[in-house]
Amino acid sequence: MAAAHRGKVPVAVHCVSAEQLVVTMAALERSGVRAGDRIEHAGVVPPGYARMIAALGVTVVTQPGFIAARGDEYLHDVPPPERQWLYPCRSLLAEGVGVAAGSDSPFGPLDPWLAMATATTRRAASGTRVVADEGIDPRRAMLLYLGRPEAPARRRRVAVGEPGDLCVLRGRMAVVLTDLGAHQVAAVTIGEDTIDFRG
């Protein structure tokens, strides 16, 4: 980490277990933090660690879609004391951690709308809720996907000079937020290419 930082390169550390997070935090405290450093997954966050992450200013890129795809397995395989620490979102945000979301495809579901919906409901495939208290409101769930590539927790904006990558929705935002799903998408523009879903 220190070598990467000396080379002006941020680090992204894969942390799906509590042990990985504990070691990563110790390493970051020792090496120092550089803008752009992030923790991928934060799959298990023990008590007190959200505050530590926030204090260091490290971004967490989490995967709510894993709850939909693997939540039932987690509830079976993860040791009982750690089940309440699985893939937190609300508690990270409450501590001031910069949080963004991704898919980790092909290991997780590619559909961002499934992930956004799951960030609110925390439902596994069986319908069981996984750490329901970590659910967030639909607007906040959508914001998890609106960050900049170099700063995933910093919101992009529509303005002159900004990249023209857009997702055009079919209806008003107030309606879309009541039913998060890919069916809400009218068109997607990436660079000079537009895909129209209304046909």
Q: Are residues 152 and 162 in the same domain?
A: no
Q: Which domain holds residue 142?
A: 2-156
Same domain flag for 114 and 189: no
pTM above 0.95, yes or no: no
> 63 and 135: one domain?
yes
Is the same domain home to 152 and 176? no
Per-10-residue mean pLDDT, the chain, length 199: 95 96 97 96 97 97 97 95 96 98 94 97 97 97 93 90 87 94 93 80
Looking at residue 173, its pLDDT comes to 94
Same domain, 114 and 166: no
How many domains is the chain built from? 2
Check whether residue 122 and residue 161 sit in a common domain: no
Pair (9, 75) in one structural domain = yes
* pLDDT tens-digit map of 106-147: 999 999 999 999 999 999 999 999 999 999 999 999 999 999
Tell whether 36 and 121 lie within a shared domain.
yes
Same domain, 17 and 88: yes
**Do 16 and 99 fall into the same domain?**
yes
Write a three-state SS string for the chain.
CHHHHHCCCCCEEEECCHHHHHHHHHHHHHHCCCCCCEEEECCECCCCHHHHHHHHCCEEEECCHHHHHHHHHHHHHCCHHHHCCECCCHHHHHCCCCEEECCCCCCCCCCHHHHHHHHHHCECCCCCECCHHHCCCHHHHHHCCCEECCEEEEECCCCCCCCCCEEEECCCHHHHCCCCCHHHEEEEEECCEEEECCC
pLDDT given at position 161: 84
User: 105 and 141 share a domain?
Assistant: yes
Query: The domain spanning residue 114 has which CATH number?
Result: 3.20.20.140
